[in-house]
Amino acid sequence: MKKAYLILENGDVYEGSSIGVSGESIGEVVFTTGMGGYMETLTDPGYYGQIITHTFPLIGNYGVVASDNGGSKIYAKGYIVRELCQTGSNFRKEGELGAWLEENGVVGIEGIDTRRLTKTIREYGVMNGMITPSLAQKAQKLERIKEYKIKDAVMSTTCSEITSVGKGERVVLIDYGASGCVAEKLASRGLEVITVPASVKAEEILALNPVGIVLSGGAGNPTEAKQMIAELKKLNEAKLPTFAYSLGHQLLAISLGGKIRKLKYGHRGASQPVKDLSTGKVHVTSQNHGYVVMNGSLPETVAKTTMINLNDKSCEALEYQDRPAFSVQFDPASLVEPLIGKDLFDKFIATLEVSNA
């Protein structure tokens, strides 16, 4: 196998073997703790501009299953695993992960100490890195690595046209880089779901006469989505029932005066413990984000924190007090704990019914 190297912006170098296609790729190096779900991870728009590291040592053991995809293509800039399984075993298998990575032009590396890499990210925080077939001109490569910045994440991952699914009362899903099947889950509850690109103006959304709004997840720094925030501020004036999740949760908070901070190494994986403060119940959730709404940045007269992350006590859910709106930081469509997702979708339906009574 061809050699490959991972260079971090702090100068650390990891030597391994090339997987996918051989070449150079720069991105923000992050880690995810999921033991499986690599198809969903690779196609999650939330990983736009990032190089994904799996903490689980063996990846690819059930091959390629296209129906598990979280999005329409691979959004990651690179892929890092301890060991890539060469022969997956699963009755649903349609191919091998290594071949699929190559077909999709993904630059990757295996055989490095992913435990050491994860500990470095945990200690020093996420940082940029490059997967490269050569250490030649390392100084120049380090300069390029340090200069890298994720740009236009939302506009690079949102849908390109307005689509509709389902029948019934109309809700609008604003796509900031949605993954999963949120639209289908809402449609199955008797709603017509109109999905619109992130660039659509508030006036255009209101002209569709929706009874409610859903703000999707997505990628990137939420504070940089200035145009989307400006349109949300206009949309907020209508005080329509609103359900927001992941990036949408952050954007809604910003549009109503909340503050955002960047996490040291983010919440990424299928085992994030979230506590419901009203019931004391703990949910195991799927998450992929590097920013959170700052606790206390919204007055309790505007929004109350209803869930927290048990690992770091960060905000996981908000209930707005002056409007029929609520939001969560995690993915409601994940199969990790489908019951919490069902509860959230049902809560949105109930909110619509009360508001329209």
Residues of the chain with pLDDT > 90, as a percent, come to: 85
The pairing of beta strand 260-276 with beta strand 107-110:
unpaired
Give the C-alpha separation, 1 to 48, whole Å: 28
Which residues, 6+ apart, have CB-to-CB distance to 166 below 8 Å?
183, 184, 186, 187, 188, 190, 191, 192, 193
Q: How does pLDDT run across 291-346, given as a tens digit for each residue?
A: 999 999 999 999 999 999 999 999 999 999 999 999 999 988 765 555 677 889 99
pLDDT tens profile 94-120: 999 999 999 999 999 999 999 999 999
The pair of structure tokens assigned to 313 is 């006590």
Average pLDDT score over the chain: 93
Amino acid occupying residue 266 = G
**What are the structural domains, with CATH classification, of the chain?**
3-150 (3.50.30.20), 154-355 (3.40.50.880)
Nearest by Cα to 59 from 22, 98, 27: 98
**In this structure, what token pair is assigned to residue 5?**
């190297």
CB 285 within 8 A of CB 331: yes
Is residue 155 helix, strand or coil? helix
> Is a pLDDT exceeding 80 seen at residue 261?
yes
Tell me the CB-side half-sphere exposure of residue 136, using CA atoms within 13 A: 3
Which of 18-32, 54-68, 181-195 is predicted most confidently? 18-32
SS3 75: coil
Residue that the structure tokens 């992929």 belong to: 288
pLDDT score at 209: 97
Query: Is 73 within 8 Å of 42 (Cβ atoms)?
Result: no
Segment 141-152, tens digit of pLDDT: 999 999 999 999
Place of tokens 């050699």: 3
Place 255 in a pLDDT band, splitting at 50, 70 and 90.
very high
| Cα 238 to Cα 240: distance, rounded to the nearest angstrom | 5
Laid out side by side, the sheet with 169-175 consists of 163-165, 191-197, 169-175, 212-215, 242-245, 325-328, 315-320, 303-309, 260-276, 282-293
Instruction: Give the C-alpha distances (Å, rounded to integers) separating 261 from 50, 264, 315.
Output: 19, 10, 11
The rounded distance, in Å, linking the Cα atoms of 29 and 41 is: 14
β-pairing verdict for 25-32 and 169-175: unpaired
Q: With a cut of 90, say whether residue 282 has pLDDT above it.
A: yes
Structural tokens at position 327: 């939001």
Per-residue pLDDT at 353 exceeds 90? no
